[in-house]
Amino acid sequence: MTERVVVAYSGGLDTSVTIGWLAERTGAEVVAVVVDVGQGGEDLDVIRRRAVDCGAVAAEVVDARDEFAAEYCLPAIRANAGYLDRYPLVSALSSPLVVKHLVAAARAHGGTVVSHGRTGTGNDLARFEVALAALAPDLTVVAPARDVAWTRDQAVAFAEEKGLPIDTSARAPYPIDQNLWGRAVEAGFLADSWRGPVEELYAHTADPTLERDADEVVITFDAGYPVAIDGETVTPYQAILELNRRAGAQGVGRLDLVEDRLVGIKTREVYEAPGAITLITAHQELEAITIERDLARFKRGVDQRWAELVHDGLWFAPLRTALDAFVDETQRHVTGEVRVNLHGGRATVTGRRSEAGRFDVGSATYDTGDGVDQSFAKGFVQLWGLPSKLSAARDARLGGVRS
């Protein structure tokens, strides 16, 4: 029986060349799997036919949009996930889901080898192959873009030589990766960290400097999950899609940053993530009134570690699963509404309320009727400052100097 190789196919340059290279060099039958994680753009049936035209014996499209939103994006919201406190994990979140369906396709088609178009120094290579090792260690992985070390120019030349129907966007000055959670652009002229991004680079956000009326949205959360927008019940997919549209129309969600790749290389990335930024911003503000102080302080460290694990390709690591259990516990009372003003490229929270909130006007005011007896403060401050007082006395006795 002819060996079968199952390829994670996006329709872009790298994976189109991967199909052509595998078919030519190995003689194996190539099966392409297109996973729809809300990337939009081209019709996925067109992409499926392109895979066949590139040499695949079969190609299938998996609609994973709802699954991606509910099982990958929602945990990121509850963990306020932002790598380096900024990047909303666009490709990092979709990679483990794509690998999951790639493995399922390999089992269904009798494939013993899986392949992808990720390059050797990019984060996605580790994300793909570590996930594959976790889910299907028996499968062999072939990565032509890494093993052959194609440059972008060489890949285009190979496609032209073999008559592969690559997408015309493959000839663009920079590669683009996108899904429901956001859009990432890198390389090309953006490799120069001093050069500013041009407006033509953006597709999901309007120019935030243009004058327009503000948009106000009320997001309802239940146990940390967004469940309604302006009072209308929504699914996770609908919530992200709607806020991508509304926040994007206000220029919300543009990010331009230098980040650390897993291998230690610094890279300049430009992102658009209007829905993600809006939802995380709103969720953080609801946590501010519903989570107790010490728990909130500790959770900030957990959130950061969660984002680092996912960014580094460790979605299936035991630590990420354990951190999810902690986050689940923190979200029991994160239920309520948050009002967000979308305008001028910013998502600004202007109101938050919750029946489970710990915010008490009576104890937070300095006006008449303050619910806290001010006389309590004297003894509390004396006890709170006692360790510092004792340390200062010791240092003075021993001739130490405190600054």
Mark the binding-site residues for ATP, compressed into ranges.
8-16, 117
The C-alpha atoms of residue 243 and residue 265 are separated, in whole angstroms, by 33
Binding-site residue positions for L-citrulline: 87, 123, 127, 259, 271
Binding-site residue positions: 8-16, 87, 117, 119, 123-124, 127, 259, 271
Binding-site residue positions for L-aspartate: 119, 123-124
Residues 6 or more apart whose CB falls under 8 angstroms from that of 299 comprise 287, 291, 326, 327, 330
The C-alpha atoms of residue 17 and residue 116 are separated, in whole angstroms, by 10
Q: Which amino acid is at 259?
A: E
Measured distance between the N- and C-terminal CA atoms of the chain, rounded to whole angstroms: 78
Within 13 A of 277's CA, how many CA atoms are on the CB side?
Answer: 27
Q: Find out whether 54 and 164 touch, Cβ atoms under 8 Å.
A: yes
Q: Find out whether 115 and 143 touch, Cβ atoms under 8 Å.
A: yes
Which CA distances in Å does 78 have to 115, 221, 283, 345? Answer: 32, 10, 7, 23
The C-alpha atoms of residue 259 and residue 262 are separated, in whole angstroms, by 10
